[in-house]
Structure 1
Amino acid sequence: MARDTRAPVDVHVAPGEDGTVRIGAGPAFGQDVAYDDAVAVGPDFTRAVLDVAGAVLTWPVLDDPGPPSAEVHDTGRAQQWLWALYGERVAAAVHDCAAGEPAGVRVVADSTALADSAARLAFGHWAARWWPASYPDGIPALDPDLLGLELAALTHRCQQLFDAEGDQPDDCVAELIEEHQAALDALIQWWRATPQPADTARRLESVLRLVDDAADSVGLDGPALRHLRASLDQGRPVVTPVDPGALFARHDGYALAAGEPLVAGGRVIARGSGTNDWCRYPPGFVDAAENAVSWTARAVGARRQIEVEVVAHVTAPVAGAPLVAEIRVNGGRPNRMSLARRDDMWTGRADLDLSAGVTQPRIEVGVLLPGFDPGRDPDGPDPPGHPGTSGEAEARADRDAIRALVRRRLIAAAQPLAYEASPHDASPGPFLAETAAAATGEDY
């Protein structure tokens, strides 16, 4: 595989205590820094992860990606891609480390085409999981079908990272194509439209041809795929310009869900915003805005009640999702309250247990999906980032940094000429889904 001309960088290769071989990349890794400590800095949403043959690869989202860090649990399987991802020196160092020598070395990693494509694939999976879509923040959602097709194309391009063992969830070309092929017709229309930036047209054709080749290699067929093949054979005729924002605009309406509407009443004791920890629920449940969770405590006669409102994500399930609010009063044990989806909000109300004589209670509210995040163990250590924990401020700063990152990417997507394409078509430039989302900005 061809290599580009960028300067090589150092990585740290060392054995792990559990028998793995660790490759540490980036400034966080020194001779005296443990792999686990360096990789675990920050919440999950600050890392892009790729599960490949014999290893897990990790890139920082908020820093210069460079080569990935890796936890290699099967060096035999990993040797099929190590040299192409890092270069021969790192592959040899991993082999020597697995054999018991040396204990830990710094070695030069090459900049490779596979590393570019793998980093882009990992970021695409990150975007599918963590993209902070929000109406209040003005961050449009990414079209899942358009993103899924580009992920299928990138996965096919990165097939050297995967093998036939079937234990790599990110090797999912067939599933991605079958799940997201509804976007193929719109993608073909966009490709055929003119005028448009040359880099956009090139990337559109690359994605379509890779999807076609991937579908053929795994034996997929159907009307949408046959139309794709016929369109590629026909070429790119000049057609009327199209608006990608309109092509991939979502038309999800907010349907009313069962649930008691909140009503004003009683005397307001306190109100505030809760913590919107993205790690506590799956994607597509809650708007990613920092102030998406709000609450009001009221005195209703002798009773004390709390009302919680949470801005729903546009794709949030209408029914059957047991989303709950977790409420702590004055540092006590957390109590949970069920939330119901109503229009564009999750809402709920419950009685509040306040100590006698407390006129200004300290109330902490978060939202989670039970089972996905079981919540805090009152007898265990505080999970970082959860309401009332020592890491909450740092987690909020990381969420703000992610919002700033995606806003920069959306600006770049709206101004494609500002980006220079990589010679390997794996630049850090916008995904097609970001370009389409940037065109819908007026709706946010």
Structure 2
Amino acid sequence: MPARPPAVTRAKDGTVQIAGPFAGPASTRAVLDVAGAVLTWPVLDPTGLPAAEIHDVGQAQQWLWAVYGERVAAAVDAVASGAPEAAAAVASGAPEAAAGLMPAEQPTALAESAARLAFVHWAARWWPASHLDGIPALEPGALGLELAALTHECQQLLDEAGEVEGRELLEEHLPALAPLIRWRQSGAAPRRLDRVLRLIDDAADGLGLDGEALGRLRSALEQADGRVGTPLDLADLFVRQREFALAAGSAHPATGRVIARGSGTNDWCRYPPGFVDAAEDAVSWTVHALGAGRWIKVEVVAGGTAPVGGVRPAAEVSVERVNLAAEVHVDAGPPVRVPLARRDDVWTGRADLDIRASTTPSVEVGVLLPGFDPGPGADDRAAREAVRDLARRRLGEAAAPHDGEAAQSGPLLAEIVAAAVEEDF
């Protein structure tokens, strides 16, 4: 018997929901803003079709049928108009579906492209790049161009803001075209690369963009794949910043005696991607005593990448002009904010603490970016480890041959590059 179409319901606030919201922390959900709605996929356990929260049914009708099929699109209209009984009958396909005469629609090409676009947005925000954990960062140019290509491919889903974002993405990442063109010419590139490059060419043509980089692209696309056929080392082709200095301790001798030390909480939700190494033990602290005085030193291993363009932060903040901070709680007391400054590949900071000389303090430390931080939530350590496992698994798959992969599937281009250079990471 075919699978039942997703449920269509109306929330108390008037929004129409398809399949209901997926649970779990933000780092485990791929989210895509589309015309009139927000689509969500679970990253750790993909389910095919996304959940949707529709706030403008009229706008959403431009893509609903192409993602979910005509039956679900009709159900959304029925629920929005206040006829849930009719919607239930339309969504279930009864009695025809029960008789096997009207099977539920399968994921469409647009749904598959949208899922990939949402995953690229997720990877740009949540990929757990970590020198300490041995998870290389994704090549930002390859990631940005695939994001631009998919944005163009999914333009039926987008409103005007999304279309503007697509143009900005393309213009920002055009300098990264050169290594992708050389990769295609080598004859060792996945089929997906050709699809991405042709989408970029089509998007640029539609936007009236031109220039040297696009001229080289159009010339290359006129040639057959792998015409040059020269050997290629992706580690040499993609210029990356991979030099990390691990913080093995304080750069200067500590003053006074150490009375407590430990690791802090590294909650990725509280700062943009690329600022901090994603390892669970990237945040460390030491409490020192000198006479009756007590002070804490916090060290945080810095990340090695900058945020990828097109990633919308949790709050509007200019991340270039502010520094990270540590939030310190002593004996469950009110937080002490410790400004952090970056020195080489370590964020460091210190602050005096009000601790009685006769006690050993209980200390909790987290790292955040003021103005970006949504506030501390539950400790999602298990979810973060699941995301690391996902990244390792995908890198393993990206390292395997992919000559015969379908153009619509397979690892991201940036994942293939990361897997290729992992030994040098």
Kept after mapping to 2: 8 A contact 1:262/1:348: no
Tell whether 2:414 aligns with 1:436. Answer: no
Given candidates 166, 172, 190, the residue that maps to 1:201 is 190
- Give the corresponding residue for 2:382: 397
Distance 1:340 1:367 in 2: 12
- Deviation of 1:252 after TM superposition, in Å, equals 6.4
Relative to 1, partners in 2 of residues 1:8 and 1:216: Cα closer, same or farther, differing over 3 Å?
farther
- Map residues 212-291 of structure 1 onto 2, 5 A cutoff: 212-236=201-225, 237-251=227-241, 262-291=252-281
| TM-score, normalised relative to structure 2 | 0.88
- Deviation of 1:12 after TM superposition, in Å, equals 1.1
Distance 2:338 2:374 in 1: 14
- Give the corresponding residue for 2:112: 116
Q: CA-to-partner distance for each residue in 1:239-293, whole Å, 9 max, x for gaps?
A: 31111232113136679xxxx9653221110110000000000111101000000
Tell whether 2:4 aligns with 1:20. Answer: no
Kept after mapping to 2: 8 A contact 1:65/1:119: no
Kept after mapping to 2: 8 A contact 1:270/1:298: yes
- Deviation of 1:356 after TM superposition, in Å, equals 4.9
Kept after mapping to 2: 8 A contact 1:329/1:361: yes
Unpaired stretches in structure 1, ≥5 consecutive residues: 1-5, 25-34, 376-382, 385-390
Kept after mapping to 1: 8 A contact 2:266/2:279: yes
Letter in 1 for 2:240: R
Q: Aligned to 1:433, what secondary structure does the other structure show?
A: helix
Q: Aligned to 1:176, what secondary structure does the other structure show?
A: helix
- Deviation of 1:114 after TM superposition, in Å, equals 1.1
Distance 1:408 1:120 in 2: 17
Distance 1:193 1:123 in 2: 27
Relative to 1, partners in 2 of residues 1:68 and 1:374: Cα closer, same or farther, differing over 3 Å?
closer
Kept after mapping to 1: 8 A contact 2:191/2:405: no
- Deviation of 1:408 after TM superposition, in Å, equals 0.3
Kept after mapping to 2: 8 A contact 1:323/1:338: yes
Distance 1:239 1:269 in 2: 62
Given candidates 126, 131, 135, the residue that maps to 1:130 is 126
Given candidates 124, 142, 146, the residue that maps to 2:142 is 146
- Give the corresponding residue for 1:327: 328
- Deviation of 1:401 after TM superposition, in Å, equals 0.1
- Give the corresponding residue for 1:28: none
| TM-score, normalised relative to structure 1 | 0.84
Distance 1:238 1:160 in 2: 36
Cα RMSD (Å): 2.3
- Deviation of 1:171 after TM superposition, in Å, equals 6.2
- Give the corresponding residue for 1:30: none
Given candidates 183, 204, 223, the residue that maps to 1:190 is 183
Q: Aligned to 1:19, what secondary structure does the other structure show?
A: coil
- Give the corresponding residue for 2:96: none
Given candidates 72, 77, 88, the residue that maps to 2:70 is 88
Q: Aligned to 1:327, what secondary structure does the other structure show?
A: strand
Unpaired stretches in structure 2, ≥5 consecutive residues: 93-103, 308-318
Relative to 1, partners in 2 of residues 1:7 and 1:343: Cα closer, same or farther, differing over 3 Å?
farther
Q: Aligned to 1:234, what secondary structure does the other structure show?
A: coil
Distance 1:150 1:305 in 2: 47
- Give the corresponding residue for 1:297: 287
- Deviation of 1:85 after TM superposition, in Å, equals 0.3
- Give the corresponding residue for 2:44: 62
- Deviation of 1:416 after TM superposition, in Å, equals 3.0
- Give the corresponding residue for 2:391: 406
- Deviation of 1:405 after TM superposition, in Å, equals 0.2
Q: Aligned to 1:80, what secondary structure does the other structure show?
A: coil
Choose 171-180 or 275-284, whichever is displaced more.
171-180
- Deviation of 1:151 after TM superposition, in Å, equals 1.1
Q: Aligned to 2:32, what secondary structure does the other structure show?
A: strand
Kept after mapping to 1: 8 A contact 2:68/2:107: yes
- Deviation of 1:209 after TM superposition, in Å, equals 0.7
Q: CA-to-partner distance for each residue in 1:411-442, whole Å, 9 max, x for gaps?
A: 0000034x9734xx322x21010000001111
Distance 1:416 1:252 in 2: 25
Distance 1:21 1:316 in 2: 37
- Give the corresponding residue for 1:32: none
Letter in 1 for 2:262: G
Kept after mapping to 2: 8 A contact 1:7/1:111: no
Q: Aligned to 1:295, what secondary structure does the other structure show?
A: strand
- Deviation of 1:407 after TM superposition, in Å, equals 0.3
Q: CA-to-partner distance for each residue in 1:218-255, whole Å, 9 max, x for gaps?
A: 11111101111111123331331111232113136679
Given candidates 5, 13, 24, the residue that maps to 1:10 is 5
Relative to 1, partners in 2 of residues 1:151 and 1:353: Cα closer, same or farther, differing over 3 Å?
same
Distance 1:316 1:208 in 2: 24
Choose 61-70 or 171-180, whichever is displaced more.
171-180
Kept after mapping to 1: 8 A contact 2:131/2:244: no
Kept after mapping to 2: 8 A contact 1:8/1:111: no
Distance 1:88 1:235 in 2: 39
